[in-house]
A = this chain, B = another copy of it.
């Protein structure tokens, strides 16, 4: 079998499993389209017709109210039919194989599969097997990839900073296990960001050689120095142990973003978080709700970016069908 490609034979994007390998032009096109949909959402009123007559299957096996809701709203606002299937593809409901489930839904004329599965590789595996008219979009996968999160983070930075070239972006926390960090770093690298810093305990840093080009900081203070963008990550309790941090309070002491520490960054630095936040663990509440926080804007951008991705992929499918 040929190595997997997210691109169709004509060179156009067909699936979105990872941001890795995407051209900056494509990312900029998606971000511009997301800006368009932000304006549409602001105005309210009738839906876009981009997905009229198309069907989106939301298949989230992990509890993920927010990302599932974001995709569901993006699809509904483009006029799609949406079905929500609470299935863990990798757990073989009724002994049915992953592909039999997918082929069954595909035969019902599902045009888009949005997938988050507990088992890494499932999303790509599905993408490798669906019909040429069908697209697969990752809803976030293990510690590997969360491409629409990477896009929404890039869009947010673009809105507040106007570009990427001269920026210092500090990503803080459990980099090693974070699909958010990886996808953000991919988007930022593709878009030519000045400097990306990975900040966190040594035990939670990625493998040597991973995240090439990014600098590494074990101390929060140096990591934040003159940063334009501070992107905090959610920390899982089980990771603290791995990082030899005894509890949430100790984690906050070492890596929690406080107003005082934020002053190490540039005065106009923005603060980001993918949510849901552990207030008082990785971020202080007054920072989360403070004037530099753009966390809610990220959420709005998330819907717009998902609309942009779905509309982009739908346009390809329609031209192909015509």
Contacts and interface: CB of A to CB of B under 8 A. Distances in A.
A106 B69 CA distance: 12
Contacts of A103: 296, 299
Q: How many copies does the complex hold?
A: 3
Interface residues of A, number: 51
Given A69-B108, A77-B81, A297-B107, A97 B52 contact: no
A277 B107 CA distance: 15
A83 B94 contact: no
Given A57-B69, A104-B296, 20 more contacts: A44-B53, A44-B321, A45-B52, A46-B53, A65-B85, A65-B87, A69-B85, A70-B108, A73-B83, A76-B83, A77-B81, A93-B276, A94-B276, A97-B279, A100-B277, A101-B276, A107-B298, A107-B299, A108-B303, A109-B300
Closest 4 CB pairs of A and B: A107-B299, A96-B276, A107-B296, A45-B53
A32 interface: no
A95 interface: yes
B95 A73 contact: no
A66 B109 contact: no
Interface string A278-322: 110000000000000000111110110000000000000010010
A300 B108 contact: yes
Interface in A12-60: 41, 44-47, 52-55, 57
Contacts of A275: 96, 100, 104
A11 to B, nearest CB: 23
Interface string A96-118: 11001101111111000000000
Interface string A234-264: 0000000000000000000000000000000
Interface residue SS majority, chain A: helix
A46 B303 CA distance: 23
A209 interface: no
A303 B110 CA distance: 11
B105 A69 contact: yes
A63 interface: yes
Interface of A: 41, 44-47, 52-55, 57, 63, 65-66, 69-70, 72-73, 76-77, 81, 83, 85, 87, 93-97, 100-101, 103-109, 275-279, 296-300, 302-303, 318, 321
Nearest to A77: B81
Contacts of A76: 55, 81, 83
A51 to B, nearest CB: 10
